[in-house]
A and B are shown apart, each in its own frame.
Chain A
């Protein structure tokens, strides 16, 4: 268990160790943060950029790495008209410094001791904090039954796809189900529509099994899925949501 001592959050400098392309639009930033005190899977950091004239822009990014990992990793989705994300994916490089504060948010977080089964629902880059949970699960050798339902616009835009495939192949207690909403490759036999109540009824654990659900992604998806799960009989207190808004920036 990570003890959370009450303390004020302070901005600090992290150094970029590596920038790793994940998909055409996303990159992972591997960061060295001195005296990082650890985090819980699901938490995020606030990142702040400062221009030479003092102008500042700030955004939140979920931590992709497990608490057990050596370095802090953020995965950033490059938004076309974003102010911060294009800088992080196009300009930032190894050796650069990045101001951040965190970890933030104990509400949308999971650790092994919280139990399961786990139902993780992601829309786009909403998969990032859920992947941190999955990576934590692997790192501690947990066998909590876990299902990830992941909505992406296209096959190429699935973040961490290979890692998920390898994990599901070797660990029978993890299932990853994809749905593609805009385009699908030839021969695709999986879901190809937005997540809806019918899909959730098919895939979610039964409320009898007392699952923990974490839903993350754009606000419209999160609200629809959250409401549908409650309609299916899930205890609202066991359905945690994190909205990224229509645009993150």
Chain B
């Protein structure tokens, strides 16, 4: 069991810097296993000062990879089939 693993609530502030909608209630579909759920329940690895990685609780696939460096944001969403607010 990974004690460094948090959940979507932990990434909400950082994700909120990039997305203007409430991310923890947004729904995703995992590109690898098809699981659909809300981001608040996803597994988050806040790699301090490196980036934020949000993973599917079923298959560990990286749904969202986010970094913020040199004043710019980099967002990789290829792990999600879709992300929706409604």
Contacts and interface: CB of A to CB of B under 8 A. Distances in A.
Interface in A184-231: 218-220, 223
B interface, by DSSP: helix, strand, loop or mixed? mixed
Interface in B36-82: 38-41
Given A46-B13, A105-B24, 11 more contacts: A8-B17, A9-B16, A44-B12, A104-B13, A105-B12, A106-B25, A107-B8, A107-B38, A243-B6, A243-B9, A245-B5
Interface of B: 1-10, 12-13, 16-17, 20-22, 24-25, 38-41
A107 B3 contact: no
A158 B36 CA distance: 37
B13 A106 contact: no
A105 to B, nearest CB: 5
Interface centre among B6, B9, B22, B38 (most CB of A within 10 A): B9
B13 A60 contact: yes
B40 A105 contact: yes
Nearest to A222: B7
Interface in A1-50: 4, 6-9, 44, 46
A108 interface: yes
Interface string A94-107: 00000001101111
A240 B10 contact: no
A91 interface: no
B16 A242 contact: no
Contact of B7 (A4, A102, A106, A241): A241
Contacts of B16: 8-9, 101, 104
B9 A219 contact: no
B68 to A, nearest CB: 11
A51 interface: no
Contacts of A240: 40-41
A4 B1 CA distance: 35
A17 to B, nearest CB: 23
Contacts of A218: 3
A106 B38 CA distance: 11
25 contacts: A6-B21, A8-B17, A9-B16, A60-B9, A60-B10, A60-B13, A104-B9, A105-B12, A106-B25, A107-B24, A107-B38, A108-B9, A108-B24, A108-B40, A218-B3, A219-B2, A220-B1, A242-B7, A242-B9, A243-B5, A243-B9, A244-B6, A245-B5, A245-B6, A245-B10
Given A6-B21, A106-B25, A107-B39, A219 B5 contact: yes
Given A8-B16, A101-B13, A241-B41, A106 B24 contact: yes
B17 A246 contact: no
Please give me the 4 A-B residue pairs with the lowest Cβ-Cβ distance, nearest first: A107-B40, A246-B3, A107-B24, A46-B13
A76 B6 CA distance: 18
Given A105-B40, A241-B7, A219 B1 contact: yes
Given A6-B22, A241-B41, A105 B4 contact: no
A93 B44 CA distance: 33
A243 B1 CA distance: 13
A244 B46 CA distance: 12
